[in-house]
Structures are given as structure tokens and as C-alpha cells.
Amino acid sequence: MRHRYIPLHKKRLEKGPLKGGDAAAMEFLERKLSVNDILFFRALAAAELRLELKVITYPLVLVDYYYYLVLFAIELILYWFFSSLLSHLIIVDISDISSRAASEQRLY
């Protein structure tokens, strides 16, 4: 009975209320089993689901971590490139302005 109850309970936890033959089978099993057996089988089903979710979600979390790490590295590279480019342009503009100011002072 345990081998029939645990998959049905996992399906109910994952997808919601059971329909059709699954609902009838679950109702039959819950009538036949004692309360202690039902609680024990539900605990086993929940433990199996947690184990399955850890196996499924762990690689996704790792992929997300590397994805954000790569995005951060790209952002740093772009920041370095544009800040060095802008500082070069600003230096050129400042020197151009200072040379214009010097030439204007000579005129007066």
C-alpha cells in the first residue's frame, strides 16, 4: 500500500487535487490505512520531493550564479573601457580649452 500511496500523494502535492482514477485510488487507500500510516507515508513523500527538488534546482542555482558573474565581469570591462575613453576625451577637451584661453589672453 505504501508503494501506491506515496506516488499519489507526491502527485497531489505537485499538481493539486487529484482527478479521476487517482482520486478514487487515494480515497480507497485513505480508508484502508491507519492515521499513523498515512502521516508516515506523507512524511516519506515530502522527503522524496525535497530530495528531488534539491537535485533539480541545484544546477539551476549554479547556472544563475555564473550568469550573473559573467554579466558583472562584462559590466566592469565596459566601465573600464568607457571611463578610460571619456577621461582621454576630457583631457583633450581641457587642453583645447586651456590653449584657447591662453590665445584669447594674448589678444587683450
4 near 25, Cβ under 8 Å? yes
d(CA 108, CA 104): 7
| Residue 85, pLDDT score | 67
pLDDT at 23: 92
Per-residue model confidence (pLDDT) at position 77: 85
Per-residue tens of pLDDT for the chain, all 108 residues: 788 999 999 988 888 888 999 999 999 999 999 999 998 998 899 888 888 876 655 555 556 677 778 888 888 888 888 777 666 655 555 556 666 666 666 555
Residue type, 98: S
> What separation, in Å, do the N-terminal and C-terminal C-alpha atoms of the chain show?
105
- How many residues are there in the chain? 108
pLDDT of residue 101: 60
- pTM surpassing 0.85? no
Domain ranges of the chain: 2-107
C-alpha cell recorded at residue 56: 533539480
pLDDT for position 63: 63
Cβ-proximal residues to 17 (8 Å cutoff; 6+ apart), any chain = 23
- Predicted confidence at residue 21, as pLDDT, reads 92
The set of cell numbers assigned to 58 is 541545484
**Which set of grid coordinates corresponds to residue 13?**
502535492
